[in-house]
Amino acid sequence: MSRSFQPHLFVILGASGDLTTRKLAPALFRLMQRHDELRCCHILGVARSDLSDAAFRDRIREALRDEPHAADADLSAWCDDHVFYQSLGGGSNGYERLARRVVAIEKAYGLPGNRVFYLALPPKTFPGTIEALGQAHLHKSAGWSRLVVEKPFGRDLASAQALNDLVHRYFDESRIFRIDHYLGKETVQNLLVFRFGNALFESVWHRGQIERVDIQVHEALGVETRAGYYDQSGALRDMVQNHLTQLLSLVAMEAPARFDADSIRQEKIKVLESVVSLRPEDVLLGQYAAGESDGRPARAYREEKGVSKGSVTETFVRLRMEIANWRWRGVPFILETGKRMPEKRTRIAIRFQPAPVSLFRPYEDTCDVRPNILEITLQPDEGFNLHFEVKQPRMPLRLAPRRLRFRYDEVFGDLPQAYETLLGDVIQGDQTLFVHADEVINSWRLYTPILEAGLPVHPYAPGSQGPHSAPQ
């Protein structure tokens, strides 16, 4: 469905944090430069820091200085025209003052009352902020109002249900955008086109032809500066419950009745409803120990600044899932994520069933028939490889693995950044790439029992593939 960009005020709560300068401001700047109809839109940064409009504009200017269109756009004039700041201060009437400022900007620039509220905040502050927005009636206006919530949405099933209830008190589900930046990647969106636009693959996308599916999100770095947050979260909450589960649902979903947000999200929900309850033996947790990474000494997770001594927070998860529906029954889905892995990589590997009978038994020493594998790489080096067997020339009969290869950048050049795509969709009201409330609840229903089970956390060496024993 074609949608338009309408004049609006984009309100960033928590605007003094680095998410605004690293991701949000550059994405909004690029959108405004590429779409003329967004030139009449404005940004209001909100935080407790005592900043003036001028000081906040200086921060934004610095963040945008290296943007490709910054020189052409007269960056200083753009910031003066489009960027504002409102401090909440330390008093109890901060949101009342915010409401007055919002109305003042809308009146000064003739805006119709369309508002986006982006929570660029720590998750623990979501409930209080949403309640404050509602109490100040900021969600009510002459136009539309939309709420964008960063992940994680809740810490477990109970907290996610409570947060959903709170959000729905002030915002209808059609106005809630639970953002997962992985879904903004062009290569993730291409999963739908790859599956449903190519009959070659869709015709073999089922238990009769697929032996197993591996979904991996590996990171070469440790926790770096995120230790304070990460030690309260862990890999299961930080990566599996959202990123990997979203990839799972896109790989496994049925064809939607229509290519629109409601139809696609309903099919993703059906996948999560069909996942068999996880057992402790299906899950392996790990935590990186001290060692070497990329030829340099690497300290253990427990030695990282901000990590509590004796922490049992997992930095690695591997789990085996089964989807009990007609298409996938009996096919294992292996989800894996970890820090301090050999390389940074996000990939989906579809391993096809082997031929039912080998024709090459007389030549088994030289004819080791490997399974066909479709490997979809989401980052880096975005593209896919299709692995298959060919006969090497001459005798004796000998097989060799080869691959068909496609890379996005070789064909299309640089890809749009995820946040640019997602913020554009928020402004247009397109929820296709955002997570529905029922997806959140069904996901937490899967993982909360594992979080509460107190499973052992096994050490693994940095640069390794994780702990040795694992669900297969």
Nearest to 10, CA basis, from 35, 33, 38, 30: 38
Exposure of 110 by Cβ count < 10 A (0-12 exposed, 13-18 middle, 19+ buried)?
A: exposed
Say if CB 41 and CB 424 are below 8 A apart: no
- The encoded tokens of residue 41 equal 């839109």
Exposure of 387 by Cβ count < 10 A (0-12 exposed, 13-18 middle, 19+ buried)?
A: middle
What does the alpha-carbon distance between residue 132 and residue 35 come to, in Å, rounded to a whole number? 33
Q: Which of 8, 82, 181, 243 is catalytic?
A: 243
What does the alpha-carbon distance between residue 189 and residue 1 come to, in Å, rounded to a whole number? 16
Nearest to 41, CA basis, from 118, 101, 105: 105
- The encoded tokens of residue 177 equal 């955008």
Based on the residue annotation, tell me whether 69 is a catalytic residue of this protein: no
Which residues 6+ apart lie within 8 Å of 146 measured at CB?
115, 116, 117, 171, 175, 176, 177, 426, 429
Exposure of 333 by Cβ count < 10 A (0-12 exposed, 13-18 middle, 19+ buried)?
A: buried
Say if CB 386 and CB 194 are below 8 A apart: no
Say if CB 347 and CB 377 are below 8 A apart: yes
What does the alpha-carbon distance between residue 307 and residue 172 come to, in Å, rounded to a whole number? 38
- The encoded tokens of residue 221 equal 């770095």
Nearest to 88, CA basis, from 12, 8, 158: 12
Q: What is the set of active-site residues? A: 243
